[in-house]
Amino acid sequence: MLPGDVAQIMLGEGASEAEVAQLRRQLNLDRPAPERYLDWLGGMAQGDWGVSYTTKRPIGEILPVRARNTALLTVLTVLVAVPVALGLGVLMALFAGTVFDRGLSVLLLGLSAMPEFLIATAGVLVFAVRLQWLPAISSVSPDAGLADAARALALPVLTLSLIIVAQIARMTRATLVGLADRPFIEMAQLKGASRLRVLLVHALANAIGPLANIVTLNIAFLVSGVVVVETIFAVPGLAQLMINAVSNRDMPVVEACAMIFCTTYVLLLLAADLFGAAFNPRLRRSAR
């Protein structure tokens, strides 16, 4: 629906209508879009992702390096955000109702309400421009070591982690506090167990299912959040590849990236449902 197409972009504004029409025929752009999409979908089912209009390279050669950078960004975010979020959630539940709990709840609520581009921009201004600790452009070369890649991805990881931590910590706190009036918690308290032991041993063990579901759903959120963050920090990943392809009207690349993102999102949602069912006996019985 966007104006223009890849043929016009490749030839430039000075090209004649005949030249544009000829290139459109060469690229099969004169065929209906649904027909071209179904042809691409059939090829993808056989392992053929098509050829990029702009680079003339097979898309299957472009995707692995880009997917590696996006996967690295996602994995680093998960490794940083999930332990911090669970720890904060446990602390908030341990001191539920105190000034610490209320203050941290307000802070996390504010972070969860902030869009990624606002947090990313603030991070660039503070850590890249003023303090000059981290690079503003997250350029990751294929031969970069883990330390260099981690430093280059520090700001994107920080941006995504703040949002993920805010969501998971609040939900962890709510889950643990919601178990406080359960009979097994009251029994542990009557036996003289400390509040910390009750939370870590009894409540946390029974909250594994809901927490696994929460963590998985928030990892699925990264699939959408990474698009904005990769664009701001120029991370050479799948999201930036997709945005550039949209600008160039390179539809086979757009379709390939969209398919990867959608498939990943659906699989993560499926994993969240399976985690929820695995740790919930009532769901397992109803499934039978």
Which tens digit of pLDDT belongs to each residue from 81-134?
999 999 999 899 888 889 999 999 999 999 888 888 888 888 889 888 888 888
Is pLDDT larger for residue 257 or for residue 228?
257
**Confidence band, pLDDT 50/70/90 cuts, at residue 8:** confident
pTM: 0.81
Q: How many CB atoms lie within 10 A of CB 172?
A: 25
- The full DSSP string for 138-151 is ----TT--HHHHHH
pLDDT band with cut points at 50, 70 and 90 for residue 149: confident
pLDDT score, position 26: 83
Burial of 222 (0-12, 13-18, 19+ CB in 10 A): buried
Query: Does residue 285 have a pLDDT over 70?
Result: no
**Structural domains in the chain, sorted by start:** 6-30 (no CATH), 59-287 (1.10.3720.10)
pLDDT tens string 229-275: 888 888 888 888 998 898 888 888 999 999 998 898 888 888 888 87
Counting Cβ atoms within 10 Å, is residue 191 exposed (0-12), middle (13-18) or buried (19+)? Answer: exposed
Structure tokens at 73: 């960004």
- Who wins on pLDDT, 135 or 61? 61
Q: Which residues contact 215 (CB under 8 A, 6 or more apart)?
A: 82, 168
- Of residues 180 and 96, the one with the higher pLDDT is 96
2's CB contacts (< 8 A; 6+ apart) are: 246, 249
Whether the pLDDT of residue 286 is over 60: the answer is no
Q: Rounded distance, CA 225 to CA 244, Å?
A: 17
Residue 144 has pLDDT above 90, yes or no: no
Range picked from 145-154, 181-190, 216-225, 236-245 for highest mean pLDDT: 236-245
Backbone angles phi, psi at 58, to 5 degrees: -60, 135
Beta bridge partners of 58: 51
**Which residue, 160, 79, 85, 76, is CA-closest to 117?**
160
Angle at 62 between CA 61 and CA 63, to 5 degrees: 100
